[in-house]
Structure 1
Amino acid sequence: MTASAYEAAVLDFRRRKDEHFAAGRGPVDPAAFAGLSYFPPDEAWAFTVLLDPLPQADAGAEWTLETNTGETRTMTRIGQVQLPLPDGERTLLVFAPLGEERPERVFIPFRDATSGEATYGAGRYLDAPLDRQLGGDGALVRVDFNLAYHPYCAYGDGWTCPLPPRENWLPDAVTAGERLS
C-alpha cells in the first residue's frame, strides 16, 4: 500500500527533522541519537480553520507565558482557533512573537490527555502557517497536530521553554505528532 501525498509530506518533514538533530543542530547528543518517535500520520488531525482575531481594541495584546525555568516569555496573542476535535469543538489561543504585526506563522502551545504519558508532560508546540488570502485581517490557519513537537526542554536541561497557558489544555488525547519513545 502506498502512502498518500499527505502522509508522504508528513514523513518527509519528520525525516528532515531527524536529519537536523542527527547533524548536531538540535537539543540531543548526535552520537546517541537514533531518531524521534511519532504517532502514525493521520490526516484526521489536520485542520484548516479561520483565525478568530482579537477585537481591534485588543489587537496586539501582550500575553505572558510561564516557562519551565520559572522565567516568563511575553508574546503577542493574536487570536484563537476553534477546532473540531473528536470529542467536541475546542478553542486554542494563538500567539506570535512580539513585534510581528502580520506573522506568516503562529505559535500554538498546548497540553492534552497524552501529556505526561505518551508525550512530554509540559506539553507540545505547533507552528502553524497563516494563509491571508481572505484579505483584511482575516486569515486561515493550518493546525496540523501531526507536526506537533516537543520543546527542547523535553530533551535536557539548559533550555527555557514556554508552557502552554491553561486555556490551551485540551481534555482530549491528541494522538498525533511527536511522542515519547
Structure 2
Amino acid sequence: MTSSELTLVDWRTRVADLYAAVRAAADPAEGHHLWRAGRAELFATHPDSPTREVVEYWPYDPALRFAVPLLGAEAEDRDVDTGADGTLTMRRIGRVELPAPVSESLDVWWLHQYGGGIFVPLRDGTAGDGSYGGGRYLLDTAKGAWLGGDDRSLVLDLNFAYHPSCRYDDRWRCPLAPPGNTITARVEAGERL
C-alpha cells in the first residue's frame, strides 16, 4: 500500500464518519449544515480532494427529504467503464417513487465492486443548467454516503445531492445516471454550479 492509498482510505473513513454525524443530528437541517461544513473542510485540506474549489449549494428545503420504500423493478446489469479503475458492474435492485414536489421515480442500483453498496445517481432538470451536466449522486454506500433506512426503505434527501469527482477532474470517470435515474423535474437542492 502506498501513501496515496492510505490517504484514500482516510478520505473514505472521513466521509463515512461525516454521514454518521449527519444521521445522528437532531434534525435534518442541522445534519445538512454539518455535511456542508465537513465537505468544505475535506475539499480544502485533504490530499485526495477532487477539487480545491468552494462548492456552492442551494438552500436547504425540508420538503425534499423522503423516507421511501424500495419497490420492485426488473433486474438489469450495467457495466460502466471507469478508466484506470477498470469496469464497474451495477445491478438494478429496485426503484423508489419520490412524492411531490418531485413526483418522479428513480432506479436503485447495487454496486458489485468495493464489497457492494447501494447507489442512487440523479440527473434532473438542472443538469447542465445549475448542476453538473452528467448528474449528481444521492447515495453511494460503498463510499460512505448513507442517510439511513431499514430493510424496506431508504432515506433520500435531495438536499444532499452531490457532484461526482469527474465533475472536477477529467482523470476520473464516474458512473453517471442511466435513463431510469434521469428525471425532468428541476431539483434545486444540494450542490450546484
1:112 corresponds to 2:131: no
TM-score (norm 2): 0.73
After superposition, give the CA deviation of every residue in 1:136-179 in whole Å (9 maximum; x if it has no partner): xx511001111100011111210011111012111100010000
Which structure: larger Rg?
1
Question: Which residue does the alignment assign to 2:98?
Answer: 83
TM superposition shift of 1:76? 2.1
TM superposition shift of 1:53? 3.7
CA distance in 1, matches of 2:120, 2:31: 21
Structure (1/2) with the larger helix percentage: 2
Shift in alpha-carbon separation, 1:164–1:119, aligned structure 2, 3 A: same
After superposition, give the CA deviation of every residue in 1:40-80 in whole Å (9 maximum; x if it has no partner): 0111111000011447xx4xx522346699x8531121111
Retained in 2: the 8 A contact 1:68–1:163?
no
- 1:136-151 mapped onto 2 (5 Å cutoff): 138-151=151-164
SS of the equivalent of 1:112 reads coil
Query: Unaligned stretches of 5+ in structure 2?
Result: 1-25, 140-145
- 1:29-178 mapped onto 2 (5 Å cutoff): 29=52, 33=53, 35-54=54-73, 58=75, 61-65=76-80, 73-86=88-101, 89-98=103-112, 106-127=118-139, 128-132=146-150, 138-178=151-191
TM superposition shift of 1:129? 4.2
1:12 corresponds to 2:25: no
Q: Which runs of 4+ in 1 moved over 6 A?
A: 66-69
SS of the equivalent of 1:131 reads coil
CA distance in 2, matches of 1:20, 1:99: 24
After superposition, give the CA deviation of every residue in 1:114-147 in whole Å (9 maximum; x if it has no partner): 1001100110011144533xxxxx5110011111
**RMSD between aligned alpha carbons?**
2.6
SS of the equivalent of 1:16 reads helix
Number of equivalenced pairs: 160
Query: Unaligned stretches of 5+ in structure 1?
Result: 133-137
Retained in 1: the 8 A contact 2:166–2:172?
yes
* Residue identity in the other structure for 2:96: V
TM-score (norm 1): 0.77
CA distance in 2, matches of 1:66, 1:115: 21
Retained in 2: the 8 A contact 1:67–1:163?
no
Which structure carries more relative contact order (alpha carbon 8 Å, separation 6+)? 1
